[in-house]
Amino acid sequence: MTAATEPKAGIARPPYRADHVGSLLRPQSVKDARKRFYEDKAIDAEELAAVEDEAIRAVVKAQENAGLPVVTDGEIRRSFWHYDFMGELSGFDLEERDEGVQFHGVKLRPIYPTIKEKLDFPSDHPMLEHYRFVASATNVMPKISIPGPSCCHFRVAKADIHPKEYRDDVEVLFADLATTYAKAVKAFYDAGCRYLQMDDIFFAYLCDPKHRAAKQAEGDDPDWLIDRYAWMMHEAIKDRPSDMVIGMHMCRGNFASTHAAEGAYDPAADAIFNKTGVDVFFMEYDTERAGGLEPLRLLAKGKQRVMPGFITTKTGDLEDLDDLKRKFDEASKFADIDQLGIAPQCGFASTEEGNKVTEDDQKRKLDLVVRTAEAVWGGVDK
């Protein structure tokens, strides 16, 4: 399918009271097909796509059945939440090496993004078609999540930045990233997308004392990076049409139910809320690693919305609805309850391995998101 697919008439528009971050557990059929395609070389790309298509239709139906007003493709076609998108940008490449990124007690697969040439967003980026497919498969609002521009700096080692102009002046790199992402925003809009999520989790990483110290050791001021990351996001989305909503997810890492960072949002909250221009903020709030709710006081009065992630995707233990209602009572001390909603703390499968939860756990969590929205606000799209 190549024609633009705008959301169907009459469906509720974002922001919502109930939402989710994006990724969902990969069914075994997809895992098997990906192995047969990438490792065994036993099937072709069309056969893999057919299995993925069937799985996406199923997860779309599951989200609709849960009562969610918005659905994603579950990132079913991806290996990583971020690298698959980045690797298809002009000028980017992904390299496999010996040592993976360290999470809490486990290492990520050793894939490293590198910048080989001047950056750009190609008109045939495959995730444009990914969006069109999910839009064709649902009767509610389709959403696609992509990594935000900060990911293309934070996750690339300085030694892996090859263009001289980027090495000599990081502001040139930031400017090109902003331009590249502005083109992406326009391309998704032209494909029919009216709800685009750009996940800039590294705002949260730069609130972690360990990650801040690591950036300082590399010669970077973490507070300066927070400010420039906010500038990149703002530049990327500032010219979007008025009927396009931008979301942004922030967490502290999510690989096989583990994490990579911790620390309250305080160092970044002002930049997040007041300098990015984002409409909807998905904020991890499932454990003490995220700190307190006080940073919500910096949310400006108006139409922006925060979706506190009180429901974890890292374990199958189901949160208590009354406890969630009490947490919203606490959150409303710092932000207007009318500017809040509910979503899980993160995706269920930021990589194809997935978190250590079952599909039934995932279903119960999404059902709880909807029940919480109904209990607190009287509906999922009020």
Q: Which residue range(s) make up the domain with 270?
A: 28-377
112: in domain:
yes
Cα–Cα nearest to 379, from 127, 67, 61: 67
* Over residues 317-343, mean pLDDT: 98
Three-state helix/strand/coil letters over 104-118: CCEECCCEEEEEEEE
pLDDT tens, position by position, 2-31:
445 667 777 889 999 999 999 999 999 999
Check residue 354 and give its pLDDT: 81
21: in domain:
no
pLDDT at 353 over 70: yes
Cα–Cα nearest to 268, from 301, 238, 298: 298
Check residue 9 and give its pLDDT: 73
Check residue 2 and give its pLDDT: 43
Q: In whole angstroms, how far apart are CA 69 and each of 143, 244, 362?
A: 10, 16, 17
215: in domain:
yes
Check residue 124 and give its pLDDT: 97
How open is the CA angle 98-103-104, to the nearest 5 degrees? 135
350: in domain:
yes
Cis peptide before 15 (omega within 30 of 0): yes
Check residue 279 and report its DSSP letter. S
4: in domain:
no
Return d(Cα 346, Cα 252) in angstroms, integer. Answer: 9
Q: What is the CATH number of the domain that holds 145?
A: 3.20.20.210
37: in domain:
yes
Helices (H) and strands (E) in the chain, counts: 13, 11
77: in domain:
yes
If one counts the domains in the chain, the total is 1
